[in-house]
Each structure stands twice: as C-alpha cells, then as structure tokens.
C-alpha cells in the first residue's frame, strides 16, 4: 500500500529518499521548530505515519483526531508523547535507543571535565588576554575528577555508559540510584545503589539520567540541592525539568554547590536568566547530547527503519514500552 508519511522537521534527505523508494508519499514540513498539537492535527489528519522529534507536542488530542498507524520519534526520550493516548488510538510509538548512548555519555563526561577544569573560562581568558606567564597559583584552579565519586541518577543505558567511562577511564567511584538494583553494574564498576539523599550527600559529581515523568520532575530542587557538597558539580544531559532551574541558579550563586554542566533546560528553547547570570561556574550547551554526525544519522535511520517495518506489516524494531 502507498502510505502518507508526514515529516515534521528537517532530517537527512537520503533517509526520506528511503521512504520514497519504498513507494510512500512523503510530506516534509521542514518546520524550524517543534509543532503544536493543533499544527500536528492539521498536518497529519490523513497521514499513516509521522516522523517526529522531541519538540513536537504529541498530546492525547493528536492521537484522538488522527488515524496514524505509527509515530516514530527520532529520540530516545518520549516525554513529549502521550503514550497512553497512542495506545488507546492503536498508534504504535517507536523511539531510537542504543544508537545515541555513546555520544550522550561522551557529552556528560565532557561537561563534567569542562566544569571541573573551567575550560570555557580559561578559553575566554586566553583569547582576551593571552596566556600570560605561567603561574603556580593561577585562578581558576580546577577540581579533580580522577578518583572522585560519581553519583548517577538513573542507571539506564546512558548512565551505564557514563559509569564505564568514569570508572575505567578516570578511576571514579560509582554510586547510583535506580528503581531496582543492577547486579551486573555493581560487579563491573564496584557500583553501589543508594537512596537519592545519600547519593547526593556522598557524590563529588551528580549526573542525571532518569526519564522525565511525574515522579522525577524537579528531582533536583532547593531541598535536594542542600544535601549536596559545596564542592559538588551537577551534570544534566537527560531532560531539563528534572531540575528546578531557579533553585539551581540560587544554589550556584550562593556557593551551595560548586558548578553545573547543563545540556538540557527546563523550558527549552529558553534558559532561565538566573542561570545565565551565574557565569563561569556553569557550562551550558544547547541539547547536543546525541549531536555527532554518525549518531544523528543512526537515529534518523532507525526511525525510518521502524516506519518501513510497521508499514510493511512487520513488528516495530524499537517500540516505546
């Protein structure tokens, strides 16, 4: 059958060609931003498949007012999709896990090192003033990552890939929180599972990898930030709303914690002005965890594989749930 596939935002052209080569009609909207529920309903009213991204708002209304067979999101996180409504509407939802694990864990490690060694500040100082003479007591003085304790909140694929890098590459001690214990990780990394409060209190670096849901929203807030060491660094490459940004900015401003490396924000595309004002104790990047050429292509390709499989009557490769 010839299916109609709506593509919400720009993706790799050769991947769209794969859909056309399979005989399908492709409507590429090329929106420069995510689509609202109303825009999605209009665009996908008579579509069979949607190739979407994490900024598209796939509410219950979208599923109730379309007849989509599949929504393939080019992301591993799916907090922008009302999966219960999709199930009711019998729309299959797929995502792109695994292919972005390494790139995202690499960025978490990069942010950790950048904050600890204040790389953006040193770069800016060097460009503005040159290196000056070597000075033993030159500021900014860094924080050691090697041998430090890393607390991982959510030991899924990305958390585990970070544990691997941190433990074997940097000799870090690994602590984690998770719903259930991970005996294999405990054996591999000597990791121990702790309640959140204890993990926050004992860690030199805390890295967030939990999915965003009602339980995890604002997991990091005024109260939980108080539990962290004044020398600690917070890293977030997961989802922005895991953190109350205003509370974090205040904790950074007052020296309650030492620094933060953030790739995701509570109200993307906006960044809380108080966080911007914190200056050199934060390193901010624009949601680029998976942004390597190879990884982004693999994500699009996997999403397209899912659409082709489902439209051919086969099971989805990487369904949500």
Residues with catalytic annotation? 239, 268, 287
Q: Which residues lie below 8 Å from residue 162, measured CB to CB, with a gap of 6+? A: 105, 108, 109, 150, 152, 207, 209
Give the nearer residue to ligand DGY in terms of CB position, either 240 or 259.
240
Sheet holding 70-73, edge to edge: 25-28, 4-7, 49-52, 70-73, 92-94
Cα→Cα distances 301→11, 42, 96, 187, Å: 10, 26, 9, 34
Which residue in 6, 100, 205, 258 binds ligand DGY (CB under 6 A)? 100
> What does R_g of the chain's alpha carbons equal in angstroms?
21
Shortest distance (Å) from residue 16 CB to ligand DGY: 19
Query: For residue 285, which of 260, 254, 250 has the smallest C-alpha distance?
Result: 260
CB of 263 to ligand DGY, least distance (A): 8
Residue found under tokens 């585990």: 160
Name residue 301's beta-bridge partners: none
* 290 makes contact with ligand DGY (CB under 6 A): yes
- Give the whole-angstrom CA distance, residue 135 versus residue 280: 20
307 near ligand DGY, rule: CB under 6 A: no
Interacting positions 18-57 with ligand DGY (CB under 6 A)? 54
Q: In the bound complex, what is the minimum distance in angstroms from residue 264's beta carbon to ligand DGY?
A: 7
Does residue number 154 form part of the binding site for ligand DGY (CB under 6 A)? no
Specify the residue, 91 or 290, whose C-beta has the smaller distance to ligand DGY: 290
Q: What angle do CA 141, 248, 139 make, to 5 degrees?
A: 10
Nearer Cβ to ligand DGY, position 149 or 285? 285
Restricting to residues 56-95, name those near ligand DGY by CB under 6 A. Answer: 75-77
Q: Does 301 bind ligand DGY (CB under 6 A)?
A: no
Q: Which is nearer to ligand DGY, 34 or 193 (CB)?
A: 34
- Closer CB to ligand DGY, residue 70 or residue 100? 100
At closest approach, how far in Å is the CB of 36 from ligand DGY?
Answer: 20
At 144, list the tokens.
């050691």
- Which spans of this chain sit near ligand DGY (rule: CB under 6 A)? 54, 75-77, 100, 289-290
């Amino acid at each position: 059958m010839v299916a109609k596939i709506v593509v919400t935002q720009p993706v790799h052209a050769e991947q769209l060609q794969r859909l056309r080569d399979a005989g399908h009609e492709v409507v590429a909207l090329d929106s420069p931003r995510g689509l609202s529920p109303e825009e999605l309903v209009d665009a996908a009213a008579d579509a069979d498949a949607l190739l979407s991204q994490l900024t598209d708002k796939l509410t219950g209304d979208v599923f109730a007012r379309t007849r989509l067979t599949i929504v393939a999101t080019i992301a591993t996180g799916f907090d922008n999709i009302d999966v219960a409504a999709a199930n009711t509407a019998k729309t299959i939802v797929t995502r792109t896990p695994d292919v972005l694990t390494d790139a995202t864990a690499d960025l978490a490690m990069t942010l950790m090192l950048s904050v600890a060694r204040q790389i953006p500040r040193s770069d800016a100082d060097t460009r503005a003033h040159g290196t000056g003479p070597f000075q033993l007591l030159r500021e900014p003085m860094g924080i050691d990552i090697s041998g430090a304790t890393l607390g991982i909140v959510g030991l899924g694929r990305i958390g585990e890939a970070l544990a691997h890098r941190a433990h074997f590459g940097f000799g870090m001690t690994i602590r984690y929180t998770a719903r259930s214990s991970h005996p294999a990780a405990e054996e591999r990394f000597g990791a121990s599972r702790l309640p959140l409060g204890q993990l926050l209190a004992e860690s030199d670096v805390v890295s967030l990898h939990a999915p965003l849901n009602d339980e995890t929203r604002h997991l990091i807030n005024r109260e939980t930030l108080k539990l962290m060491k004044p020398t600690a660094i917070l890293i977030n490459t997961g989802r922005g709303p895991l953190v109350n940004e205003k509370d974090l900015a205040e904790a950074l401003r007052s020296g309650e914690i030492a620094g933060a490396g953030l790739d995701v924000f509570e109200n993307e595309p906006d960044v809380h002005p108080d966080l911007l004002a914190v200056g050199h104790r934060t390193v901010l990047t624009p949601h680029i965890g998976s942004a390597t050429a190879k990884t982004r292509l693999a994500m699009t390709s996997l999403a397209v594989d899912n659409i082709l499989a489902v439209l051919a009557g086969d099971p989805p490769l990487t369904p949500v749930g």
